Amino acid sequence: MAFISPSKGPMTFDMMFDDMLAYVTGAPEEDYRLIVGTDSQARDDVHFVTAVVIHRRGKGARYYYERRRHEPMASLRQRLYHETALSLHTGGQLAERLSRDKVDVDVEIHLDIGKNGATRDLIREIVGWVTGSGFDAKVKPDAYGASKVADKHTK
């Protein structure tokens, strides 16, 4: 089991996708955003959490998250690149399934970087990587998928 739903417990990727699909098809007239964001916390090792949020605009959301551990990393830059790679991987899997199942929901990648602080120098290159991969990119303060949802589960 890779993902965890706070309300339904452990799920495989396929179970998570089917649950999201049921949420979307339950109210197909609504407007949805599918958000993927990753955050990390450095300890003896690094804990990475990737959150997947299906947001029914103005009507709530469901989310799922996946935890991974990694050996310590040399720099903040390396950690942010790894966070982005994890988000892109999950976003790519979701986009592929959405396309195959003919579901019209765009995937947004939320990045735990912002215009203030140590991460500001990385914005152009990381956002460029995400948009060059075919996804919309959001940074703080609009990147709540990473900075709020994923962050909540890194502790």
Between CA 131 and CA 107 the distance in angstroms is 11
Q: Where are the domains of the chain?
A: 3-152
Is 70 exceeded by the pLDDT of residue 107? yes
Is 90 exceeded by the pLDDT of residue 120? no
Please tell me the predicted confidence (pLDDT) of residue 1: 62
57's tokens = 């605009």
Question: 81: buried, middle or exposed (CB in 10 Å: 19+, 13-18, 0-12)?
Answer: middle
Please tell me the predicted confidence (pLDDT) of residue 41: 92
Q: What is the pTM of this model?
A: 0.94
pLDDT digit string, tens, across residues 62-102: 999 999 999 888 788 999 999 999 999 999 999 999 999 99
12's tokens = 């495989």
Short-list 35, 139, 152, CA closest to 90: 35
96: phi then psi, degrees, rounded to nearest 5 = -65, -45
Q: In what order do the strands lie in the sheet with 3-5?
A: 9-11, 3-5, 60-70, 46-56, 32-42, 107-110, 136-138
pLDDT digit string, tens, across residues 3-32: 999 999 999 999 999 999 999 999 999 999
pLDDT digit string, tens, across residues 33-69: 999 999 999 888 999 999 999 999 999 999 999 999 9
